[in-house]
A and B are shown apart, each in its own frame.
Chain A
Amino acid sequence: MKTLILHINLILLPLIGAAQITVPLRFDRYNTYQEVVESVKALNKAYPSLTKAVLVGKSEEGREIWALEINNPVTGEAKDKPGVYADGNIHGNEIQGGEVVLYLADYLLKNYGKIPNITKIVDRNAFYLIPVVNVDGRFHFMADGHTMNSSRSLRIPVDDDKDGLFDEDGYEDLDGDGNICRMRIKDPNGKYRTDPREPRLMVRVKEGEKGEWTILSYEGIDNDQDGKLNEDAEGYVDANRNWGFDWHPNYVEPGSGRFPFEGVGLRDIADYMKNRPNIIVVYAFHNFGGMYLRGPSNKDLGELIKEDIAVYDLLGKNAEKIVPGYKYLVSYKDLYPTTGDFTEFTHQVFGAYGFVAELYMRDQETYVKGSEAERKPSDPDPDNPNSREIERLKFNDNLANGTLFKNWTPFKHPVYGDIEIGGWIKYSTRMPHTFMLPDLVHRNAEAVIYAASQTPEITLELIGTKKLEGNLYQVDVRLKNTRAIPSMSYHAVKQKLYTKDILKLSGAKVVAGGEITDRYNNKVRYKKYKPEIQFLQVPGYGISEFRFLVEDASSVNLSYESVKAGKRTLTINLKKT
């Protein structure tokens, strides 16, 4: 009997701790790493004809990185459609990015065939969705004790304090509550005292004031006994500084790793994207700040080409309206310069328009009435440096029932003796309370849906044919893009990242062929060699027209092939015209 119970328990064991994942997915909670993987698989299982669950690679600690691909094979192969890529949680602590990407997948799939707009983009685009890039980071952030800022790194050991030991002095969750909070100790000579307005907060003492507290750092002990606390925690290799474009070493870009793609999972993702050259827009969800950022990420790279900026402007300004309070900004000048980051890499190397979305909802963490609720708490009151913190505590008390802030609690520290542990918990500050999550994920997913709707839609149409003397036919055709994003970025054209779109005429000998530069004045830029093959780009909302002079034939075939904008064919019967 005992054996049987043990057996049953063992079978049930894997289910304990992980919520049962059902489709449609829930967005009133944060998923663990395992639940994210289960969610990808559950969506794939629920929508087998529209999705593929693809194992992209593995992390430093061997965790699997999964992508969910959405494509309707009835309307064509994924590689022949403009690809939309979204990922989240490249920084291990920025977990809600994962929820946005899962929501996007869930929303597209559950509304396919129900909402015409969604049906259209699912039929027209291929989606490549990687909810969690830094799988180790997410796993540890949720499973272990952390601050809201830690478990951010890739799990590549780094000797941060240059003492010959690696990752030997990280935080300790001394009170075992799953959070790494602040430690403070009573100290009449300390630099801080209790804030008279809010006893849970402290203020710096001014000249002549008596101190009350010394802040000791975050929870932990000096594991390597070098007189410093928590100075060599996991990593640090920043997964968003380790990509292979404009990469610079650690001494210039902290956390960039020792060489590009030292992060094995990142390298797997780069290979994954390289094998899906149709990806034309990229969204990477981070937290926090409320921003949609475009490149350049570093001023040395120079400004982007103006036609490409126009695309970013369209998508970025739209995102500002979709997500209230968010700003569309240029990464290097409006935020700070970075190198070796992901979206710069996708823009520069793959020619895919890339946004970093910095998720944020703190402006909505309010407990004030009426018009005051619209006040931006950006500038704290100089006389009351804690004004914003006091407001957040009210939010914590009245809307989160005190779950976001750990009240100062006495603790016996092995070295410092009597101390107190308290402060904001890891699920606060950088991410919204779960009751606000549905709003966050929907609005930001809509920013991607809009971008998908603007990916190139090319038509190949006949302008006209004309019989010329000497058994020659003149065939004029037009490629037309009915969307805002060009068939390839201007950067890709300039740097020759890959073969331009190809327009090929077959079925007759082509005597001459070229781009019509001025149809009304009959001007054509004839191509000197191989006139039957033309190379081109179709601008956003633009056209590209070609003329072929062909020898007598009953019909000719035209084929258009674009790396990112799909394929089109057209058969023209010359004898009918």
Chain B
Amino acid sequence: MYSEKLKILCLSAILLVCLNMLTAQNYPTPDELKTSFENLAKSNQGKVKIHPLAVSPGGNQLIVAELGNEKTGLKNPAIFVLADPEGTNPMAAYASTILARMILKDEKNLNFTWYILPTLNPDALKNYFSKVLWKNPRNATVFNDDQDEVADEDGPDDLNHDGFITQMRVKDPLGTMMIDETDKRLLRRADPAKGEKGIYTVYTEGIDNDNDGTYNEDPPGGVNTGVNFPHLFKPFTTTAGLWPGSTPEVYALMKFIFQRPEIAASFVMGNTNFCLVPPEGGRKSTVDYNKIVIPDNMLESFNAEKGKTYTITELIELLQPYIEDDFEITPAMIINVLGLGEIINPLSEDVTWYKELSDQYKVYLKKSGFDLERLGPEKAKDGSFELWSYYHLGVPAFSFNFFTLPAYKAEKKDSSGISTAKLEAMKGEDFTALGEDVILKILKENNAAEKYKPLEVIEMVKSGKTTPKQLSAMLKAMPKPKSDSTLKALISFSDKNLKGKGYIDWQPYKHPVLGDVEIGGAVPFTLNVPPFAWADSLINLQLPWIFTLVDKLPQVKFAKYEVKDLGKDVWQIEIWVENTKYLPFPTAMGQQNRNAAPCILTLEADSLEFLSGYKRTPVRALGGLKATKLTFIVRLTRGKAIKASLESKSMGNDSLEIKLQPSK
């Protein structure tokens, strides 16, 4: 009787929490996220379990929820989903709970194991729920930013007690900012070349707590978990951490992922969007492993020709005859000896499918009625999880940002009305039909360099030298007065959708040191976090694309086999192994870093003897929708069968019985 009561009590408690989630008025806190997943595990036993990952420097327990089929789980490929890598995106963190529910809705999703980490930086995410709103991506590690005698002593202060850390502007003869004539609430940098003089200096709201003449230069906290990963880690910066993986959240995550070679892809829900905008190339790099020039002082060692370019394979072939028989030269040794360095731009083979999938995603979003005319997502930062996944893990790395502000549209009557997105979709003849005046406006609106004249552009499009799509890409790449357009978008969004609450107009304030100042500016998080009421529809519209992508992950199957009787119980067996899905195994980058666990083809039968080939054959790469042929010569009594199996950590398994009779 007693236990029955207890049961009801427990159920009520769970129900209450669930109801709370349903009727929540705000994004979940780190603790609520954890509880939400713990409850999900309770109500989905056998499908959901919780792994404790690490305890943050601020004492918050990080968890990874594992969703999968307990019976087949061990054999299934896995997906890793990291929400909110920096602790600055409560919407992304919330999306992790929606994703979990989406996954559980359809049993076929559990053909994969899903690992979901609801936030990597709970210390920072807590800032969103504090009394004073301030976007600070640092965890609770103590860091002495200004290298003085005290740490974390000079952060911003909410001087006017409005609950936000905004900005202070003060009239200053040395000021560089002036009022933006398009909207008096905005400031812009004065351009002395145009005869403009700055009148304001802008500070973050606060006082000089440590009296060192600098404002808010040593705020609380230390490491941004979103930039503490090893790829392009930036040492000697204030938020990256002492070394890659120096903070326990990141170290534990790298370890967790590497312990699970079944992870076939990574998804981030945060501030970047690799689904829409593939990882950026164009970093300065001299690394091209297919065009290696041997430096003069090593020509002799490599037996190479001066000025000639080589691939790594060619260099190995050059060296091997001079090396002892039992020593194998690996590509890594060549890269190391020549000091070639890491790959830092996405490899062209990978860019191809990234672009194709991005185009498909745009179509998908358009069909769903999603407005693509938004501010672009953030670029992946050096040291980020996104870059690490692609470059160091070598898996397809995708990311979503569910919200950016609608792009600012100038309301002037003489606007061209043509955004870069519109331009991209235009046909050549439609573009030229716009005429010189409109095209001039388009060029100006996008800050095109002076050298681009409307007539020439029309001519280029007509002659096929360029397309509106290429033109759109070129215009997007033009340097923009970023803060201006972003702030304009923000203020316009705030006016239209937040009743002006996303931007605080300047209010006078008597500052203890600076004297008469004005406090105002963008409300923290307005840029990347919409009102909670919008969250579900935005997430539900974009997130299902994850299942389309997951369905494109490589899957290994036997395509066919052929047996040839060579006589006297000797057989030639040809086996075609195929990847039935769109994405390659592994990515081109994965082929370079050799981290993917190989797929193993095993041939077994009693008394099976291999004359050519081996019992276990690793298949280390399989292109998307491609097959590879493996040939064996074996000896086995006629009529017997060989059990062939394919075992892959990340691509699934397959098996086949090969009958020893000649193929027809």
Contact = CB atoms under 8 A, between A and B. Distances in A.
A42 B233 CA distance: 43
Interface in B227-253: 230, 233, 235-236, 242-246, 251
Given A163-B618, A251-B592, A499 B148 contact: yes
Contacts of B255: 259, 262
B208 to A, nearest CB: 8
B335 A252 contact: yes
A259 B388 CA distance: 10
Given A163-B600, A164-B600, A225-B615, A259 B245 contact: yes
Interface in B460-503: none
A221 to B, nearest CB: 14
Contacts of A216: 326
B183 interface: no
Contacts, number: 136
Interface stretch (A45-53, A108-116, A240-248, A302-310): A240-248
Nearest to A246: B235
B450 interface: no
Contacts of A225: 614-616
Nearest to B391: A249
A500 interface: yes
Interface stretch (A133-141, A226-234, A426-434, A508-516): A226-234
Contacts of A254: 330, 332-333, 336
A338 to B, nearest CB: 8
A441 to B, nearest CB: 32
Given A251-B335, A260-B243, A261-B251, A499 B144 contact: yes
Interface in B303-361: 324-326, 328, 330-333, 335-337, 339-342
A535 interface: yes
Interface string A209-229: 000000111100000111111
B254 interface: yes
Nearest to B243: A244
Nearest to A247: B230
A197 interface: no
Nearest to A241: B336
A206 interface: no
A226 B617 CA distance: 8
A252 B149 contact: no
Contact of A496 (B149, B236, B246, B328): B236
A387 B244 CA distance: 48
A215 B325 contact: yes
A232 to B, nearest CB: 11
B614 A248 contact: no
A349 B235 contact: yes
B211 interface: yes
Interface stretch (A68-76, A468-476, A525-533): A525-533
A191 B211 CA distance: 78
A300 interface: yes
Given A162-B594, A164-B618, A252 B244 contact: no
B593 A251 contact: yes
Contact of A227 (B211, B392, B614): B614
B598 A218 contact: no
B614 A215 contact: no
B639 interface: no
A261 B341 CA distance: 20
Contacts of B7: none
Contacts of A93: none
B41 interface: no
A348 interface: yes
Contacts of B364: none
Interface string A327-361: 00000000011000000010011000000000000
Contacts of A231: 328
A494 B384 CA distance: 25
Nearest to B338: A337
A348 B244 CA distance: 14
A251 B332 contact: yes
Contact of B339 (A245, A299, A500): A299
B411 interface: no
Interface in B5-40: none
Given A244-B242, A260-B245, A215 B326 contact: yes
Given A250-B332, A252-B332, A529-B213, A499 B149 contact: yes
B213 to A, nearest CB: 4
Given A251-B332, A251-B335, A500-B147, A259 B258 contact: yes
A260 B213 CA distance: 38
B446 interface: no
B594 A250 contact: yes
Interface string A421-439: 0000000000000000000
A254 B144 CA distance: 36
Contacts of A224: 616
A228 B618 CA distance: 14
Nearest to A271: B246
B618 A300 contact: no
A407 to B, nearest CB: 21
Contact of A336 (B213, B246, B337): B337
Interface string B163-201: 000000000000000000000000000000000000000
B339 A530 contact: no
A474 B399 CA distance: 63
A226 B278 CA distance: 40
A244 B210 CA distance: 33
Nearest to A496: B147
B427 interface: no
Given A254-B330, A496-B236, A259 B341 contact: no
Given A162-B598, A260-B230, A274 B242 contact: yes
A248 B342 contact: yes
Contacts of B211: 529-530
A502 B150 CA distance: 11
B620 interface: yes
B288 to A, nearest CB: 14
B212 interface: yes
Nearest to A226: B614
Contact of A164 (B144, B147, B330, B598): B598
A244 B593 contact: no
Given A226-B614, A274-B242, 5 more contacts: A250-B593, A252-B336, A259-B255, A262-B258, A529-B211
29 contacts: A162-B594, A162-B618, A164-B597, A164-B598, A164-B600, A191-B325, A215-B326, A228-B328, A231-B328, A244-B246, A247-B243, A247-B244, A248-B342, A249-B391, A249-B392, A250-B332, A250-B593, A252-B332, A252-B342, A254-B333, A259-B245, A259-B255, A261-B251, A267-B251, A496-B147, A499-B147, A529-B211, A533-B149, A535-B147
Interface of B: 144, 147-149, 210-213, 230, 233, 235-236, 242-246, 251, 254-255, 258, 324-326, 328, 330-333, 335-337, 339-342, 391-392, 592-595, 597-598, 600, 614-616, 618, 620, 647
**The 7 residue pairs across chains A and B that have the minimum distance between CB atoms:** A244-B243, A217-B326, A529-B213, A254-B332, A495-B236, A259-B254, A251-B593
